[in-house]
Amino acid sequence: MLDGKRILLVVTGGIAAYKCLEVIRRVRERGGHVRCILTRGGAQFVTPLALGALSEDWVFQDLFSLTDEQEIGHIRLSREADVVLVAPASANVLAKMASGQADDLATTALLATDKPVVVAPAMNPAMWEHPATKANMAVLEERGVHRIGPAEGAMAESGEWGMGRMAEPDAIVAALEGLLGGAQAGLLKDRRALVTSGPTHEAIDPVRFLANRSSGKQGHAVAAALARLGATTTLVSGPTHQPEPAGVNVVHVETAREMLDACLGALPVDVAVMAAAVADWRPADAARAKLKKPAKGGKSAPPSLKLVENPDILATVSGRNEGRPHLVIGFAAETDAVVENAVAKRRAKGCDWLVANDVSAAVGTFGGDDNQVHLITADGVEEWPKVSKLAVAERLAQRIAETLKTA
Ligand code: C5P
Protein backbone atom coordinates (compact mmCIF):
# COMPACT_ATOMS: atom_id res chain seq x y z
CA MET A 1 0.00 0.00 0.00
CA LEU A 2 3.02 2.33 0.32
CA ASP A 3 4.56 1.26 -2.96
CA GLY A 4 7.08 3.84 -4.13
CA LYS A 5 6.06 6.37 -1.47
CA ARG A 6 8.82 8.45 0.08
CA ILE A 7 8.63 9.17 3.78
CA LEU A 8 10.89 11.72 5.43
CA LEU A 9 11.12 10.51 9.03
CA VAL A 10 12.15 13.09 11.61
CA VAL A 11 13.29 11.40 14.82
CA THR A 12 13.34 13.71 17.84
CA GLY A 13 14.40 13.04 21.41
CA GLY A 14 12.41 10.55 23.45
CA ILE A 15 12.63 7.00 24.68
CA ALA A 16 9.96 6.07 22.08
CA ALA A 17 12.59 6.66 19.38
CA TYR A 18 13.33 2.93 19.44
CA LYS A 19 9.87 2.31 17.98
CA CYS A 20 10.71 4.33 14.87
CA LEU A 21 13.05 1.51 13.80
CA GLU A 22 9.99 -0.70 13.56
CA VAL A 23 8.15 2.01 11.63
CA ILE A 24 10.98 2.05 9.06
CA ARG A 25 10.86 -1.72 8.75
CA ARG A 26 7.12 -1.79 8.19
CA VAL A 27 7.12 1.05 5.68
CA ARG A 28 9.80 -0.75 3.71
CA GLU A 29 7.90 -4.05 3.87
CA ARG A 30 5.05 -2.22 2.19
CA GLY A 31 7.26 -0.95 -0.61
CA GLY A 32 7.86 2.55 0.79
CA HIS A 33 11.15 4.41 1.07
CA VAL A 34 12.33 6.11 4.27
CA ARG A 35 14.91 8.84 4.63
CA CYS A 36 15.73 10.01 8.15
CA ILE A 37 16.57 13.26 9.87
CA LEU A 38 17.89 12.65 13.37
CA THR A 39 17.92 15.54 15.86
CA ARG A 40 20.54 15.91 18.57
CA GLY A 41 17.97 14.77 21.13
CA GLY A 42 16.96 11.84 18.97
CA ALA A 43 20.58 10.74 18.67
CA GLN A 44 20.63 10.22 22.44
CA PHE A 45 18.16 7.39 21.99
CA VAL A 46 18.82 5.84 18.61
CA THR A 47 21.94 5.79 16.49
CA PRO A 48 22.39 7.03 12.91
CA LEU A 49 23.85 3.63 12.16
CA ALA A 50 20.62 1.83 13.11
CA LEU A 51 18.46 4.25 11.12
CA GLY A 52 20.82 4.11 8.15
CA ALA A 53 20.99 0.32 8.17
CA LEU A 54 17.22 -0.09 8.20
CA SER A 55 16.42 2.70 5.77
CA GLU A 56 19.40 1.90 3.53
CA ASP A 57 19.86 5.60 3.02
CA TRP A 58 21.94 8.47 4.34
CA VAL A 59 20.86 9.81 7.74
CA PHE A 60 20.80 13.60 7.89
CA GLN A 61 21.72 15.30 11.16
CA ASP A 62 23.35 18.64 10.68
CA LEU A 63 21.92 21.79 9.12
CA PHE A 64 25.37 23.15 8.38
CA SER A 65 26.99 19.98 7.15
CA LEU A 66 28.83 20.79 3.96
CA THR A 67 28.66 17.22 2.66
CA ASP A 68 24.94 16.80 3.38
CA GLU A 69 24.10 20.19 1.90
CA GLN A 70 26.10 19.52 -1.25
CA GLU A 71 24.56 16.07 -1.49
CA ILE A 72 20.93 17.15 -1.31
CA GLY A 73 20.27 20.40 0.61
CA HIS A 74 17.70 20.88 3.32
CA ILE A 75 15.04 22.37 1.09
CA ARG A 76 15.19 19.52 -1.39
CA LEU A 77 15.24 17.06 1.48
CA SER A 78 11.89 18.33 2.68
CA ARG A 79 10.38 18.51 -0.80
CA GLU A 80 11.54 15.18 -2.12
CA ALA A 81 9.21 13.31 0.20
CA ASP A 82 5.53 12.46 -0.19
CA VAL A 83 4.96 12.95 3.53
CA VAL A 84 6.97 14.12 6.52
CA LEU A 85 6.53 12.00 9.65
CA VAL A 86 7.78 13.23 13.03
CA ALA A 87 8.04 10.17 15.28
CA PRO A 88 8.54 10.51 18.12
CA ALA A 89 7.45 14.14 18.23
CA SER A 90 8.71 15.68 21.48
CA ALA A 91 6.96 18.56 23.26
CA ASN A 92 9.93 20.65 22.17
CA VAL A 93 9.58 20.00 18.44
CA LEU A 94 5.81 20.61 18.60
CA ALA A 95 6.49 23.96 20.27
CA LYS A 96 9.06 24.88 17.65
CA MET A 97 6.80 23.83 14.80
CA ALA A 98 3.90 25.83 16.25
CA SER A 99 6.00 28.98 16.52
CA GLY A 100 7.81 28.49 13.20
CA GLN A 101 11.30 28.16 14.60
CA ALA A 102 14.01 26.71 12.40
CA ASP A 103 17.17 26.31 14.43
CA ASP A 104 18.26 22.85 13.33
CA LEU A 105 17.89 20.62 10.30
CA ALA A 106 14.63 18.98 11.48
CA THR A 107 12.77 22.22 12.19
CA THR A 108 14.15 23.87 9.07
CA ALA A 109 12.92 20.99 6.91
CA LEU A 110 9.55 21.09 8.68
CA LEU A 111 9.21 24.80 7.99
CA ALA A 112 10.31 24.41 4.38
CA THR A 113 8.18 21.44 3.42
CA ASP A 114 5.19 21.70 1.11
CA LYS A 115 4.09 18.14 1.88
CA PRO A 116 1.62 16.74 4.46
CA VAL A 117 3.10 16.47 7.94
CA VAL A 118 2.16 13.75 10.44
CA VAL A 119 3.25 13.94 14.07
CA ALA A 120 3.29 11.06 16.56
CA PRO A 121 3.65 12.81 19.93
CA ALA A 122 5.47 11.00 22.73
CA MET A 123 6.16 12.55 26.10
CA ASN A 124 5.44 12.44 29.79
CA PRO A 125 1.68 12.78 30.50
CA ALA A 126 2.21 16.03 32.45
CA MET A 127 3.96 17.53 29.42
CA TRP A 128 1.20 16.33 27.07
CA GLU A 129 -1.53 17.73 29.33
CA HIS A 130 0.28 21.06 29.79
CA PRO A 131 -1.75 23.97 28.38
CA ALA A 132 1.29 25.06 26.36
CA THR A 133 1.55 21.70 24.56
CA LYS A 134 -2.22 21.58 24.09
CA ALA A 135 -2.20 25.05 22.54
CA ASN A 136 0.74 24.15 20.28
CA MET A 137 -0.96 20.96 19.11
CA ALA A 138 -4.22 22.82 18.47
CA VAL A 139 -2.38 25.41 16.35
CA LEU A 140 -0.65 22.68 14.35
CA GLU A 141 -3.86 20.71 13.76
CA GLU A 142 -5.62 23.87 12.68
CA ARG A 143 -2.84 24.34 10.11
CA GLY A 144 -3.47 20.86 8.78
CA VAL A 145 -0.81 18.87 10.58
CA HIS A 146 -2.05 15.32 11.12
CA ARG A 147 -1.69 13.76 14.54
CA ILE A 148 -1.53 10.10 15.43
CA GLY A 149 -1.79 9.27 19.14
CA PRO A 150 -0.51 9.54 21.77
CA ALA A 151 -1.96 6.55 23.56
CA GLU A 152 -2.44 5.90 27.24
CA GLY A 153 -0.06 3.58 28.99
CA ALA A 154 2.90 3.10 31.28
CA MET A 155 5.66 5.68 30.95
CA ALA A 156 9.27 4.64 30.75
CA GLU A 157 10.19 6.75 33.74
CA SER A 158 9.10 6.56 37.37
CA GLY A 159 6.32 4.05 36.82
CA GLU A 160 3.91 6.80 35.76
CA TRP A 161 0.78 5.99 33.82
CA GLY A 162 -1.09 8.27 31.49
CA MET A 163 -1.58 9.75 28.04
CA GLY A 164 1.74 10.24 26.29
CA ARG A 165 2.95 6.94 24.84
CA MET A 166 3.79 7.13 21.17
CA ALA A 167 1.26 5.41 18.91
CA GLU A 168 2.31 1.87 17.94
CA PRO A 169 4.20 1.43 14.64
CA ASP A 170 1.21 -0.40 13.14
CA ALA A 171 -1.07 2.54 13.80
CA ILE A 172 1.47 5.01 12.43
CA VAL A 173 1.92 3.01 9.24
CA ALA A 174 -1.87 2.65 8.84
CA ALA A 175 -2.18 6.44 9.18
CA LEU A 176 0.47 6.94 6.49
CA GLU A 177 -1.33 4.50 4.23
CA GLY A 178 -4.60 6.32 4.77
CA LEU A 179 -3.01 9.66 4.06
CA LEU A 180 -1.09 8.55 0.98
CA GLY A 181 -3.97 6.52 -0.37
CA GLY A 182 -4.40 9.33 -2.92
CA ALA A 183 -7.65 8.76 -4.74
CA GLN A 184 -8.74 6.52 -1.89
CA ALA A 185 -8.60 9.35 0.58
CA GLY A 186 -11.74 10.83 -0.92
CA LEU A 187 -13.65 7.57 -1.35
CA LEU A 188 -16.16 8.47 1.37
CA LYS A 189 -16.19 12.21 0.80
CA ASP A 190 -19.68 13.63 1.32
CA ARG A 191 -20.67 10.54 3.33
CA ARG A 192 -21.59 10.50 7.00
CA ALA A 193 -20.68 7.68 9.34
CA LEU A 194 -21.63 6.74 12.89
CA VAL A 195 -19.52 4.30 14.91
CA THR A 196 -20.00 3.01 18.45
CA SER A 197 -17.08 1.67 20.45
CA GLY A 198 -16.03 0.43 23.85
CA PRO A 199 -18.06 -0.99 26.71
CA THR A 200 -20.85 0.70 28.62
CA HIS A 201 -20.84 1.18 32.37
CA GLU A 202 -24.10 0.54 34.19
CA ALA A 203 -24.19 1.92 37.71
CA ILE A 204 -24.92 -0.33 40.68
CA ASP A 205 -24.32 2.49 43.13
CA PRO A 206 -22.24 5.70 42.92
CA VAL A 207 -18.95 3.78 42.97
CA ARG A 208 -19.69 0.41 41.38
CA PHE A 209 -20.80 -0.55 37.92
CA LEU A 210 -21.37 -3.47 35.57
CA ALA A 211 -19.05 -3.48 32.56
CA ASN A 212 -17.22 -5.82 30.20
CA ARG A 213 -13.72 -6.33 28.80
CA SER A 214 -14.13 -4.37 25.55
CA SER A 215 -11.10 -2.10 24.98
CA GLY A 216 -12.57 0.01 22.18
CA LYS A 217 -9.58 -0.73 19.95
CA GLN A 218 -11.61 -2.17 17.09
CA GLY A 219 -14.37 0.45 17.12
CA HIS A 220 -11.95 3.35 17.35
CA ALA A 221 -9.92 1.88 14.48
CA VAL A 222 -13.06 1.65 12.33
CA ALA A 223 -13.92 5.30 13.05
CA ALA A 224 -10.36 6.35 12.17
CA ALA A 225 -10.39 4.32 8.94
CA LEU A 226 -13.72 5.80 7.81
CA ALA A 227 -12.50 9.31 8.58
CA ARG A 228 -9.32 8.67 6.59
CA LEU A 229 -11.46 7.80 3.58
CA GLY A 230 -13.11 11.18 3.96
CA ALA A 231 -16.35 10.34 5.80
CA THR A 232 -17.69 12.86 8.31
CA THR A 233 -17.50 10.52 11.26
CA THR A 234 -19.10 10.57 14.70
CA LEU A 235 -17.72 8.10 17.22
CA VAL A 236 -19.95 7.41 20.22
CA SER A 237 -17.61 5.90 22.75
CA GLY A 238 -18.17 4.25 26.08
CA PRO A 239 -15.41 4.57 28.71
CA THR A 240 -12.11 3.43 27.15
CA HIS A 241 -8.40 4.27 27.33
CA GLN A 242 -8.14 4.76 23.58
CA PRO A 243 -6.90 8.11 22.26
CA GLU A 244 -9.44 10.07 20.24
CA PRO A 245 -8.83 9.31 16.56
CA ALA A 246 -7.76 12.35 14.55
CA GLY A 247 -10.46 13.98 12.47
CA VAL A 248 -13.33 12.20 14.23
CA ASN A 249 -16.08 13.87 16.24
CA VAL A 250 -16.09 11.91 19.52
CA VAL A 251 -19.09 11.81 21.87
CA HIS A 252 -18.28 10.27 25.25
CA VAL A 253 -21.01 8.33 27.03
CA GLU A 254 -21.21 5.92 29.95
CA THR A 255 -24.43 3.96 29.78
CA ALA A 256 -26.34 2.14 27.05
CA ARG A 257 -29.16 4.63 27.31
CA GLU A 258 -26.79 7.55 26.84
CA MET A 259 -25.22 5.71 23.89
CA LEU A 260 -28.63 5.25 22.27
CA ASP A 261 -29.47 8.94 22.67
CA ALA A 262 -26.11 9.99 21.23
CA CYS A 263 -26.55 7.63 18.26
CA LEU A 264 -30.05 8.86 17.48
CA GLY A 265 -28.72 12.41 17.75
CA ALA A 266 -26.02 11.65 15.17
CA LEU A 267 -28.51 10.47 12.51
CA PRO A 268 -28.96 10.74 9.57
CA VAL A 269 -25.85 8.91 8.40
CA ASP A 270 -25.00 6.76 5.38
CA VAL A 271 -23.39 4.01 7.40
CA ALA A 272 -23.62 2.98 11.06
CA VAL A 273 -21.07 0.58 12.51
CA MET A 274 -22.05 -0.64 15.98
CA ALA A 275 -18.84 -2.05 17.40
CA ALA A 276 -19.56 -1.21 21.05
CA ALA A 277 -20.02 -4.02 23.54
CA VAL A 278 -23.21 -2.61 24.99
CA ALA A 279 -24.31 -4.09 28.30
CA ASP A 280 -27.44 -6.11 27.69
CA TRP A 281 -28.72 -5.46 31.19
CA ARG A 282 -28.41 -2.79 33.85
CA PRO A 283 -29.26 -2.77 37.52
CA ALA A 284 -32.96 -1.91 37.85
CA ASP A 285 -32.33 0.86 40.37
CA ALA A 286 -28.89 2.26 40.91
CA ALA A 287 -28.54 2.94 44.64
CA ARG A 288 -28.15 6.64 45.45
CA ALA A 289 -25.63 5.92 48.22
CA LYS A 290 -22.83 3.38 48.29
CA LEU A 291 -24.10 -0.06 49.30
CA LYS A 292 -22.49 -1.07 52.56
CA LYS A 293 -21.68 -4.30 54.30
CA PRO A 294 -23.27 -4.61 57.72
CA ALA A 295 -21.16 -3.25 60.58
CA LYS A 296 -18.64 -5.66 62.04
CA GLY A 297 -20.34 -8.55 63.78
CA GLY A 298 -23.69 -7.85 62.11
CA LYS A 299 -25.15 -10.33 59.66
CA SER A 300 -27.30 -9.85 56.59
CA ALA A 301 -27.59 -11.46 53.17
CA PRO A 302 -25.52 -9.83 50.39
CA PRO A 303 -27.62 -7.45 48.29
CA SER A 304 -29.19 -9.07 45.24
CA LEU A 305 -29.00 -7.30 41.90
CA LYS A 306 -32.22 -6.99 39.96
CA LEU A 307 -31.42 -6.41 36.30
CA VAL A 308 -33.54 -4.89 33.57
CA GLU A 309 -32.91 -5.00 29.85
CA ASN A 310 -31.09 -2.17 28.11
CA PRO A 311 -32.30 -0.81 24.79
CA ASP A 312 -30.75 -2.58 21.81
CA ILE A 313 -29.09 0.22 19.88
CA LEU A 314 -28.25 -1.85 16.80
CA ALA A 315 -31.81 -3.21 16.50
CA THR A 316 -33.27 0.26 17.09
CA VAL A 317 -31.15 1.89 14.37
CA SER A 318 -31.69 -1.06 11.98
CA GLY A 319 -35.44 -0.94 12.51
CA ARG A 320 -35.98 2.73 11.82
CA ASN A 321 -38.48 3.41 9.09
CA GLU A 322 -37.41 6.95 8.58
CA GLY A 323 -33.78 7.86 8.21
CA ARG A 324 -32.42 4.32 8.42
CA PRO A 325 -28.74 4.41 7.41
CA HIS A 326 -28.16 2.84 4.04
CA LEU A 327 -25.81 0.34 5.64
CA VAL A 328 -26.08 -0.85 9.25
CA ILE A 329 -23.28 -3.06 10.50
CA GLY A 330 -23.22 -4.91 13.82
CA PHE A 331 -20.43 -6.70 15.61
CA ALA A 332 -20.98 -9.97 17.40
CA ALA A 333 -18.70 -11.14 20.16
CA GLU A 334 -19.22 -14.88 20.52
CA THR A 335 -17.49 -17.53 22.57
CA ASP A 336 -18.93 -20.58 20.78
CA ALA A 337 -20.59 -21.55 17.49
CA VAL A 338 -19.42 -18.17 16.23
CA VAL A 339 -20.72 -18.32 12.65
CA GLU A 340 -24.06 -20.01 13.42
CA ASN A 341 -24.87 -17.54 16.16
CA ALA A 342 -23.79 -14.61 14.04
CA VAL A 343 -25.93 -15.63 11.05
CA ALA A 344 -28.96 -15.84 13.32
CA LYS A 345 -28.03 -12.57 15.01
CA ARG A 346 -27.85 -10.65 11.72
CA ARG A 347 -31.46 -11.58 11.02
CA ALA A 348 -32.64 -10.98 14.56
CA LYS A 349 -31.10 -7.52 14.71
CA GLY A 350 -32.21 -6.50 11.23
CA CYS A 351 -28.77 -5.19 10.29
CA ASP A 352 -27.19 -5.54 6.84
CA TRP A 353 -23.79 -6.94 7.79
CA LEU A 354 -22.50 -8.55 10.93
CA VAL A 355 -18.83 -8.81 11.79
CA ALA A 356 -18.44 -11.86 14.01
CA ASN A 357 -15.44 -12.54 16.19
CA ASP A 358 -14.46 -15.18 18.66
CA VAL A 359 -13.87 -13.61 22.07
CA SER A 360 -13.23 -16.79 24.02
CA ALA A 361 -10.36 -16.21 26.44
CA ALA A 362 -8.02 -18.49 24.47
CA VAL A 363 -8.27 -16.26 21.39
CA GLY A 364 -7.51 -13.04 23.31
CA THR A 365 -9.57 -10.71 21.12
CA PHE A 366 -10.74 -8.43 23.94
CA GLY A 367 -7.91 -6.01 24.62
CA GLY A 368 -5.61 -7.70 22.08
CA ASP A 369 -4.25 -6.09 18.92
CA ASP A 370 -5.32 -8.77 16.47
CA ASN A 371 -8.68 -9.97 15.34
CA GLN A 372 -10.00 -12.80 13.23
CA VAL A 373 -13.45 -12.13 11.94
CA HIS A 374 -16.19 -13.46 9.71
CA LEU A 375 -18.21 -11.02 7.68
CA ILE A 376 -21.81 -12.09 7.43
CA THR A 377 -23.97 -10.46 4.77
CA ALA A 378 -27.21 -11.38 3.01
CA ASP A 379 -25.03 -13.12 0.41
CA GLY A 380 -23.18 -15.43 2.76
CA VAL A 381 -20.25 -15.77 5.12
CA GLU A 382 -16.67 -14.65 4.43
CA GLU A 383 -13.78 -15.71 6.60
CA TRP A 384 -11.14 -13.00 6.90
CA PRO A 385 -7.56 -13.83 7.87
CA LYS A 386 -6.25 -13.05 11.37
CA VAL A 387 -4.74 -9.56 11.09
CA SER A 388 -4.40 -6.48 13.28
CA LYS A 389 -7.56 -4.69 14.37
CA LEU A 390 -6.32 -1.75 12.32
CA ALA A 391 -6.14 -3.90 9.21
CA VAL A 392 -9.65 -5.27 9.90
CA ALA A 393 -10.84 -1.67 10.18
CA GLU A 394 -9.13 -0.67 6.90
CA ARG A 395 -10.66 -3.60 5.05
CA LEU A 396 -14.11 -2.97 6.47
CA ALA A 397 -13.88 0.74 5.56
CA GLN A 398 -12.89 -0.21 2.00
CA ARG A 399 -15.87 -2.56 1.73
CA ILE A 400 -18.18 0.12 3.05
CA ALA A 401 -16.83 2.59 0.48
CA GLU A 402 -17.31 0.09 -2.36
CA THR A 403 -20.86 -0.63 -1.26
CA LEU A 404 -21.86 3.00 -0.80
CA LYS A 405 -20.44 3.89 -4.22
CA THR A 406 -23.39 2.23 -5.85
CA ALA A 407 -25.92 3.38 -3.25
O1 C5P B 1 -26.65 -9.24 21.10
P2 C5P B 1 -25.20 -8.93 21.04
O3 C5P B 1 -24.78 -8.05 22.18
O4 C5P B 1 -24.29 -10.09 20.87
O5 C5P B 1 -25.07 -8.09 19.69
C6 C5P B 1 -23.92 -7.46 19.35
C7 C5P B 1 -24.22 -6.29 18.47
O8 C5P B 1 -25.37 -5.60 18.93
C9 C5P B 1 -23.10 -5.28 18.49
O10 C5P B 1 -23.06 -4.65 17.22
C11 C5P B 1 -23.56 -4.30 19.56
O12 C5P B 1 -22.99 -3.01 19.37
C13 C5P B 1 -25.05 -4.31 19.39
N14 C5P B 1 -25.81 -4.08 20.62
C15 C5P B 1 -26.49 -2.89 20.77
N16 C5P B 1 -27.25 -2.67 21.89
C17 C5P B 1 -27.33 -3.61 22.85
C18 C5P B 1 -26.62 -4.83 22.70
C19 C5P B 1 -25.87 -5.03 21.59
O20 C5P B 1 -26.40 -2.04 19.89
N21 C5P B 1 -28.07 -3.36 23.92
Say what the pLDDT of residue 184 is: 67
Per residue in 23-57, pLDDT (tens digit) is 999 999 999 999 999 999 999 999 999 999 999 99
Report which of residues 319 and 371 the model is more confident about. Answer: 319
Dist CA 108 CA 278 (whole Å): 48
Is the minimum distance from the CB of 231 to ligand 1 under 6 angstroms? no
- Residue pair 145/118 in contact (Cβ under 8 Å)? The answer is yes
Q: With a cut of 70, say whether residue 174 has pLDDT above it.
A: yes
Least confident of 164-168, 177-181, 284-288, 344-348: 177-181
Say how many Å lie between the CA of residue 277 and the centre of ligand 1. Answer: 6
- In terms of residues, how long is the chain? 407
Q: Is 396 helix (H, G, I), strand (E, B) or coil?
A: helix
Taking CA atoms only, the protein residue closest to ligand 1 atom 9 is: 331
Say how many Å lie between the CA of residue 247 and the centre of ligand 1. Answer: 26
Say what the pLDDT of residue 152 is: 83
Is the minimum distance from the CB of 313 to ligand 1 under 6 angstroms? yes
The CA–CA distances, whole Å, from 105 to 117, 139, 165 equal 16, 22, 25
Say what the pLDDT of residue 183 is: 54
Per residue in 53-76, pLDDT (tens digit) is 999 999 999 888 877 777 777 788
Say what the pLDDT of residue 59 is: 95
Average pLDDT, the chain: 91
Say what the pLDDT of residue 72 is: 76
Per residue in 182-202, pLDDT (tens digit) is 556 688 999 999 999 999 999
pLDDT band with cut points at 50, 70 and 90 for residue 362: low
Average pLDDT value for residue range 108-130: 93
Say how many Å lie between the CA of residue 136 and the centre of ligand 1. Answer: 39
pLDDT band with cut points at 50, 70 and 90 for residue 104: very high
Taking CA atoms only, the protein residue closest to ligand 1 atom 8 is: 314
Which residue ranges make up each domain of the chain? 6-180, 186-405
Average pLDDT value for residue range 363-390: 81
Say what the pLDDT of residue 127 is: 95
Dist CA 180 CA 34 (whole Å): 14
Per residue in 215-257, pLDDT (tens digit) is 999 999 999 999 988 999 999 999 999 888 878 999 999 999 9
- pTM: predicted TM-score of the whole model, two decimal places: 0.65
Taking CA atoms only, the protein residue closest to ligand 1 atom 2 is: 332
pLDDT band with cut points at 50, 70 and 90 for residue 208: very high
Average pLDDT value for residue range 77-100: 96
Q: Which CATH number fits domain 186-405: 3.40.1190.20, 3.30.420.40, 3.40.50.10300, 3.30.43.10?
A: 3.40.50.10300
Please provide the CATH number assigned to the domain covering 6-180: 3.40.50.1950
Q: With a cut of 80, say whether residue 296 has pLDDT above it.
A: no
Q: Which atom of ligand 1 is nearest to the CA of 276?
A: 12
Q: Which atom of ligand 1 is nearest to the CA of 315?
A: 20
Dist CA 173 CA 95 (whole Å): 24
End-to-end CA distance of the chain: 26
Is the minimum distance from the CB of 353 to ligand 1 under 6 angstroms? no
The CA–CA distances, whole Å, from 160 to 14, 30, 60, 124 equal 15, 35, 33, 8
Say what the pLDDT of residue 366 is: 63
Q: With a cut of 60, say whether residue 348 has pLDDT above it.
A: yes
Per residue in 304-346, pLDDT (tens digit) is 899 999 999 999 999 999 999 999 999 998 888 999 999 999 9
Helix axes 169-180, 217-228, angle to 10 degrees: 20
Q: Which atom of ligand 1 is nearest to the CA of 316?
A: 20
Residues with catalytic annotation?
212
Say what the pLDDT of residue 158 is: 67
Is the minimum distance from the CB of 351 to ligand 1 under 6 angstroms? no
Average pLDDT value for residue range 89-118: 95
